[in-house]
């Protein structure tokens, strides 16, 4: 429990990419900032404390299952829940998770005390089916408040209550009840975070549900992606372009790389990846691959998996080239990083006709995509 000095108020701010706690056993990644001030947002707090969050949390996922979502997006939403859950230490004593889906009405698929391990929870999540029909967000919020976060259903008095709402266009059934229900839930001590997906999100409603800007995250559609495999299961470099100004080219590959003790044994997922063979190459040789060009100025989030394993690993770069031909490195990694696929996320601002490239010297790349960045 936190107690503020006399005549002061307490403000808690939870920091994370998605606005939820995350930790693994033995490590803390996320923090609670406690500001003491006479008013919320005071520019000069009298005391500032930072403490790690590696304790208990009761977390509820509220996921839209309406016609707006569709079967394809529905699967992606379930994958997002599992992605977030893997960052958490799911045990009866630490992190408890509940899942509610909603369309015409809300359905509680499992409560906070239903699963003791991430594995058993994952099997249940995988069986949740898409419903279709209308979007009754108020029903999900009401079920969360009145049923999920209750002692008889596994809620703990010594664990903060956090809800993550994943939705798209906003309510279209009982929409007048949505915001009042969210306000009532927040007054009951439930921290609500909202993840908006798609390109037609209802920002006004989502902000009203979350209650503050820091609790709202928008996820736009992916603008371009390449998993190096087409719909027929054949290898492809999509619409990327090999440079004519380098020494050698990137190659498509499935399975292990041809040289021993180097490279991956397989792609991160599916079958194919692109790689550079270092045998018979000398220092200074380069292999460059360009992403497709975009016609207007914008900022993108570039995400990719990379593998840097072997004695002669040098440097991997992500760079942008201006229309005048000038290059600027926006991300780089040097040296061997072990025999496993790693992740990278890079923000890149492009002007008209700018290009993004992968380059320089010997690596393996799997699954590249980038999406429009949104400043909330």
Cα-trace Rg, the chain:
24
How many whole angstroms separate alpha carbon 208 and alpha carbon 203?
8
pTM for this predicted structure: 0.51
H-run or E-run covering 357: strand 355-360
Exposure pattern of 130-167 as b/e (b: 16+ CB <10 Å)?
A: bbeebbbbbbbbbbbbebbbeeebbbbeebbbbbbbbb
Burial of 291 (0-12, 13-18, 19+ CB in 10 A): buried
Q: What percent of the chain has a predicted confidence (pLDDT) above 90?
A: 16
Mean pLDDT for the stretch of residues 65-77:
82
Q: Give the residue among 214, 63, 81, 89 at the shortest CA–CA distance from 144.
A: 63
Confidence of residue 353 (pLDDT cuts 50, 70, 90): low
pLDDT at 220 over 80: no
Domains of the chain are 9-52 (no CATH), 57-219 (3.40.50.410), 224-372 (2.60.120.200)
The pLDDT, as a whole number, for residue 82 is: 85
* Cβ neighbours, 10 Å, residue 195: 25
pLDDT digits (tens, 9 = 90+) for 147-186: 999 999 899 988 889 898 988 878 888 889 999 999 999 8
Do 24 and 17 form a contact (C-beta atoms < 8 A)?
no
How many whole angstroms separate alpha carbon 167 and alpha carbon 195?
6
Better-scored residue on pLDDT, 278 or 168: 168
pLDDT at 44 over 50: no
pLDDT at 68 over 60: yes
């Amino acid at each position: 429990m936190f107690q503020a000095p006399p005549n002061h108020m307490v403000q808690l701010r939870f920091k994370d990419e998605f606005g939820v706690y995350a930790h693994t056993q033995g490590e803390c990644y996320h923090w609670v900032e406690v500001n003491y001030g006479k008013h919320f947002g005071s520019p000069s707090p009298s005391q500032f404390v930072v403490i790690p969050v590696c304790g208990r949390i009761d977390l509820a996922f509220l996921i839209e299952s309406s016609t707006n979502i569709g079967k394809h997006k529905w699967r992606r939403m379930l994958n997002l829940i599992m992605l977030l859950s893997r960052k958490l230490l799911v045990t009866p004593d630490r992190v408890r998770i509940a899942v509610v889906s909603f369309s015409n009405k809300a359905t509680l698929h499992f409560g906070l005390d239903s699963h003791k391990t991430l594995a058993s929870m994952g099997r249940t999540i995988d069986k949740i089916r898409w419903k279709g029909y209308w979007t009754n967000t108020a029903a999900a919020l009401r079920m969360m408040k009145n049923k999920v976060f209750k002692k008889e259903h596994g809620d703990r008095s010594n664990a903060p209550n956090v809800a993550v709402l994943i939705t798209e266009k906003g309510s279209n059934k009982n929409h007048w009840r949505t915001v009042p229900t969210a306000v009532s839930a927040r007054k009951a001590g439930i921290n609500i975070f909202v993840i908006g997906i798609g390109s037609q999100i209802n920002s006004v409603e989502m902000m009203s549900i979350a209650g503050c800007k820091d609790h709202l995250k928008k996820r736009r559609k992916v603008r371009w992606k390449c998993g190096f495999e087409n719909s027929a299961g054949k290898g492809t470099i999509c619409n990327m372009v090999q440079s004519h100004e380098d020494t050698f080219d990137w190659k498509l590959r499935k399975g292990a790389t041809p040289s021993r003790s180097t490279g991956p044994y397989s792609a991160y997922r599916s079958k194919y990846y692109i790689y550079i063979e270092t045998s018979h190459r000398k220092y200074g040789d380069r292999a460059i691959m360009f992403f497709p060009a975009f016609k207007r100025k914008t900022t993108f989030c570039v995400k990719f998996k990379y593998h840097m394993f072997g004695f002669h690993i040098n440097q991997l770069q992500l760079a942008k080239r201006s229309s005048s031909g000038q290059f600027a490195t926006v991300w780089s990694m040097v040296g061997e990083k072990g025999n496993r696929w790693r992740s990278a996320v890079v923000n890149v601002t492009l002007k008209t006709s700018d290009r993004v490239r992968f380059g320089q010297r010997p690596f393996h790349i799997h699954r590249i995509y980038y999406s429009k960045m949104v400043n909330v």
